[in-house]
Amino acid sequence: MRKSGSSAVREIKARIGIVELVRRWVDLRRAGNRWVGPCPFHQESKPSFSVNEEEGFFYCFGCQAAGDIFDFHSRITGSDFRESLAQLAEEAGVVLEASSAPATERGDLRKNALRMHDFAKEYFRRNLFSEAGADCRAYLEQRGTTPDISEKFELGWSLPGWSGLADALRRAGFNLKQGAESGLLKTGERGSVYDVFRARLIFPVRNTAGRVIAFGGRIIGDEDAAKYINSPDSPLYKKGENLFGLYQARRAIAAKKTAVLTEGYMDTLTLHQFGYDNACAVLGTALTVEQTRRLGNFCSDIELLFDGDAAGRKAALRACTVVLGRGLNCRVVCLPDGEDIDSLLHAQGTQAFEELRRFAPEGLDFCIRSLSAAAPREALDWVKSFLQDVEQPELVSRFASRLCRGLDLDERELRRSLPARSKKPSSAGASAAGRESGGVDKDALDRRIMSFVVRCPQHIPALRDAGAMLLLTQDWALSVWEKTASCAPAYDPDEVLSKLDDKEREFWWRQRVLEEPLRDNQERELADICRKAAAYCAEKQDRACRQAMLGQKDKNAYDPELLKALNESLLRKRTLGSADGQH
């Protein structure tokens, strides 16, 4: 039976628990009624990543990442919600109802493309161990690649003919037009299809969810052809957004809090073979912002491996710009002339590489050294461009000071020459976090009330009757109240979350994942908030009565109804206690 909308979401959540999903990437341990572990989305010294299994949500108290299984899957794999929904639905055995014909076609293409890539991976793998793959096996042995590494990265071999994979796909019942759209095949001028990869060592490229989405291929002889070719961009794959080996390295990167980034497939294999299992590689492009953000989901430190020649140093400078501009740390390991990491490790072992790592300069120091040899105008242009590219404005001052000291630039003049950066206005999320200018926490009562509302929405009717909504002064709090209350009487979390904006959801998730769920003192907290609301109403009535009495012309004949109302407010304030009546 096909599922649509919220029913599909609920069915998938019922079949795939959030702890089961998160454990694929995070080492979780139980802590009371929660699960905790190191956050996979930022570097930290103490585990601040918390999973509420009962509620089905996660929250990181360090970087504020939060959400349900779809949010986690989207963030960890780089997919959007629709892609994560489709992937998790397929895993859970939930058949989704198509929303539109174009969407159905795109979904079918993506699903078939994934199936074809899985088929191709197995096809290439079989070729490697067939009689036709003898030369490729000999090449791997000559390069020193062990069977374990070949197995870990599922290396394969493409046959030298023009249509080996195309014929295999046709026999298996796949649509060859979709095979071309997926990047596995090409279409000739007369409409015939042929293989993209022919007579090459094959490297499957996986996304962080573990699905094969592309391939790389290397010639193994002296043919007059490009040494490496990569899959073209497709519905599954954008080479500037993915990294070879990140799937295999993700756990080690998170555990070691550092990634080793290189430029080639074979370099990555060799690094893993020699124990550097936190290594991955760019895919035929210079390091991109999106690739850096992917790595930043697992660590905050990146070791950049580049050749020591002029081209390598230029590439390293460009990579430092991207990494530092995203707020991550990096070090630059420049290899000796004529060496790559593959040849270095096989010839000299890990000791030589460790020596290079030990003296590797920090990223900004490397930039300063490189720019010191450039013309002053070129260095200044680089500095201005780099500072304007820094994502977090708070880091600009730090970088500017170090660059000016290292390059002997006038910092005051440099700052004057930079265009002003617009500051983001304070948002509901800033209020929800309880931070305001000057560090003054002005909405503590709003947060206390809304924390109770989020965790115990069944008490909204009692709070409304007591006038608790009148205590709220912040727009974000009023918004969360109204949206939560509109979901009565069930207050289904999925329904509530569908109404909240991103910052409101962040506040909601934080409260629902808190360690203390208020199970034992709900009534006491409810009574206290209601008492404050009653005191506020009494104070408001008292002020209104006094203001009205001051406005009367005859001071000797006050309105009896005003006097009665004033006495009632005074009695309520006295009963509640003047201390609780201050707001």
* pLDDT grade for 139, boundaries at 50, 70 and 90: very high
Q: Would you say residue 422 lies in a domain?
A: no
Q: Given this model, what pLDDT does residue 448 score?
A: 85
Q: Give the whole-angstrom CA distance, residue 149 versus residue 43.
A: 28
Q: Would you say residue 425 lies in a domain?
A: no
Q: Would you say residue 369 lies in a domain?
A: yes
Q: Given this model, what pLDDT does residue 566 score?
A: 47
Q: Give the whole-angstrom CA distance, residue 426 versus residue 411.
A: 29
Cβ(206)–Cβ(213) below 8 Å: yes
Which range has the worst mean pLDDT, 43-47, 254-258, 516-520?
516-520
* pLDDT grade for 272, boundaries at 50, 70 and 90: very high
Q: Are residues 259 and 390 in the same domain?
A: yes
Cβ(242)–Cβ(283) below 8 Å: yes
Domain stop point among 96, 112, 145: 96
Q: Are residues 225 and 150 in the same domain?
A: yes
Q: Given this model, what pLDDT does residue 432 score?
A: 40
Name the nearest CA neighbour of 207 among 233, 234, 243. 243
Q: Would you say residue 429 lies in a domain?
A: no
Chain-wide mean pLDDT for the chain? 83
Which range of residues forms the domain containing residue 153? 101-230
Q: Give the pLDDT confidence of 46-94 residue by residue, as tens digits.
A: 788 899 888 888 988 887 888 889 989 888 876 677 778 888 988 888 8
**CATH number, position 209:** 3.90.980.10
Cβ(236)–Cβ(113) below 8 Å: yes
Compare 514 and 108 and report the one with higher pLDDT.
Answer: 108
Examine the pLDDT at 570 and tell me if it is beyond 60. Answer: no
Total domains in the chain come to: 4
Examine the pLDDT at 425 and tell me if it is beyond 70. Answer: no
Q: Given this model, what pLDDT does residue 33 score?
A: 80
Q: Are residues 294 and 257 in the same domain?
A: yes
Q: Given this model, what pLDDT does residue 373 score?
A: 87
Q: Are residues 212 and 348 in the same domain?
A: no
Q: Are residues 291 and 222 in the same domain?
A: no
Q: Give the pLDDT confidence of 152-195 residue by residue, as tens digits.
A: 999 999 999 999 999 999 999 999 999 999 999 999 888 889 99
Q: Given this model, what pLDDT does residue 578 score?
A: 47
Examine the pLDDT at 279 and tell me if it is beyond 70. Answer: yes
Q: Are residues 143 and 10 in the same domain?
A: no
Q: Are residues 294 and 225 in the same domain?
A: no
Examine the pLDDT at 323 and tell me if it is beyond 50. Answer: yes
Name the nearest CA neighbour of 444 among 453, 434, 455. 434
Q: What is the pTM of this model?
A: 0.69
Q: Given this model, what pLDDT does residue 355 score?
A: 95
Q: Given this model, what pLDDT does residue 514 score?
A: 62
Examine the pLDDT at 579 and tell me if it is beyond 50. Answer: no
Cβ(336)–Cβ(308) below 8 Å: yes
Q: Would you say residue 307 lies in a domain?
A: yes
Q: Given this model, what pLDDT does residue 41 score?
A: 76
Q: Given this model, what pLDDT does residue 472 score?
A: 84
Q: Are residues 47 and 127 in the same domain?
A: no
**363-372 and 310-325 helices cross at what angle (nearest 10)?**
130
Mean pLDDT to the nearest integer, 454-482: 85
Q: Are residues 136 and 167 in the same domain?
A: yes
Cis status, amide bond into 489, omega within 30 of 0: yes
Q: Would you say residue 216 lies in a domain?
A: yes
Q: Would you say residue 581 lies in a domain?
A: no
Name the nearest CA neighbour of 219 among 244, 199, 196. 199
Other beta carbons less than 10 A from residue 147's beta carbon: 11
**CATH number, position 87:** 3.90.580.10
* pLDDT grade for 435, boundaries at 50, 70 and 90: very low
- Residue entry with tokens 């996304």: 207
Mean pLDDT to the nearest integer, 284-309: 88
Q: Given this model, what pLDDT does residue 491 score?
A: 80
**CATH number, position 300:** 3.40.1360.10
Q: Are residues 387 and 478 in the same domain?
A: no
Q: Are residues 331 and 447 in the same domain?
A: no
Compare 424 and 535 and report the one with higher pLDDT.
Answer: 535
Q: Given this model, what pLDDT does residue 440 score?
A: 32
Mean pLDDT to the nearest integer, 489-508: 81
